[in-house]
């Protein structure tokens, strides 16, 4: 077993008794006075930022999944992201379809639901479509396919 | 864009509508569905005017005419026909 001793030191003065004489000597043990260094002066410097500041919100995103058990995506759908009056709007310009919401995620969710509904309507047996909506249907078919059980 | 402006266009063009998750509107011309658009339910919901205009296949000035009284349904049909959205009838 190891043993250790310690001495509790207290601030202040003490008396040193010389070894050779019996007269006590009063001696200050106070530390030298501490002088604080001067604070450095900070001068404002103008910084010119060239270009646009990076933004957290991307300008383009890809929709990779449709939250629907009946459909799956063959390939990701490219979406343009913009902000209009504090509302995030995602647009698939190829078929002029959009989604919007308070956040990018909400806008993409809205877009996904819209897309599923559009797919159902365009692929309905009773649908008689004009030339442009036929093209939209064809594009949808290139990206979306029904899931097979 | 306001809800009443959207509804004014829908009424003026005689678009078919269906209330689903959104309010869907389709223009059916001579039995053929030619354009579609939609808006969210609720008066306070934001409506992306630019995207709705793109779905209706019109320019900014034409879109303003649809909202106001400047552009009639016949004018709109002519615009869509000129763009090939509506196929013109063959001469008898």
**Which residue, among B76, B71, B27, has the nearest Cα to A132 in the 3D structure?**
B27
Let me know if residue B65 belongs to a domain. Answer: yes
A45 within some domain = no
Residue carrying the six token digits 């097979």? A148
On whether residue A27 sits in a domain, the answer given is no
pLDDT tens, residue by residue, A111-145: 999 999 999 999 999 889 999 999 999 999 999 99
% of chain B surpassing 90 pLDDT: 70
pLDDT at B91 over 50: no
Residue B72 has pLDDT above 80, yes or no: yes
The total domain count for chain B is 1
> Which residue segment(s) compose the domain that B75 sits in?
3-82
Cβ within 8 Å, pair B85-A130:
yes
Kindly state whether residue B92 falls inside one of the protein's structural domains: no
Closest CA to A63 of A55, A51, A71: A71
Residue B87 lies inside a defined structural domain of this protein: no
| Domain membership flag for residue B88 | no
Flag whether B42 is in a domain: yes
Domain with A140 in it: 60-146
User: What's the domain count of chain A?
Assistant: 1
For residue A119, being part of any structural domain is answered with yes
CB pairs under 8 A between A and B: 54
Tell whether B44 is covered by a domain: yes
Q: What is the pLDDT of residues B9-20, one digit of tens each?
A: 999 999 999 998
Position with higher pLDDT, B25 vs A34: B25
Is B50 in Cβ contact with A87 (below 8 Å)? no
């Amino acid at each position: 077993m190891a043993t250790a001793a310690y001495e509790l030191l207290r601030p202040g003065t003490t008396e040193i008794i010389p070894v050779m004489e019996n007269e006590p000597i009063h001696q200050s043990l106070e530390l030298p006075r501490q002088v604080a260094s001067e604070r450095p002066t900070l001068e404002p410097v103008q910084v010119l930022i060239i270009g646009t500041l990076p933004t957290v919100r991307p300008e383009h995103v890809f929709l990779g999944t449709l939250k629907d058990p009946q459909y799956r995506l063959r390939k990701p759908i490219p979406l343009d992201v913009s902000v209009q009056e504090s509302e995030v709007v995602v647009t698939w310009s190829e078929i002029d379809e959009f989604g919007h919401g308070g956040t990018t995620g909400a806008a993409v969710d809205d877009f996904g639901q819209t897309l599923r509904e559009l797919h159902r309507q365009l692929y309905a047996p009773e649908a008689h479509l004009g030339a442009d909506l036929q093209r939209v249907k064809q594009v949808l078919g290139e990206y979306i396919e029904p899931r097979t059980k | 864009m306001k809800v009443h402006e959207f509804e004014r266009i829908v009424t003026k063009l005689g678009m078919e509508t269906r209330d689903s998750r959104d309010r869907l509107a389709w223009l059916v011309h001579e039995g053929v569905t030619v354009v579609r658009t939609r808006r969210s339910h609720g008066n306070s919901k934001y409506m992306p005017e630019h995207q709705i205009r793109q779905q209706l296949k019109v320019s900014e000035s034409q879109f303003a005419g649809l909202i106001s009284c400047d552009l009639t349904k016949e004018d709109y049909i002519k615009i869509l026909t000129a763009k090939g959205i509506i196929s013109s009838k063959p001469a008898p």
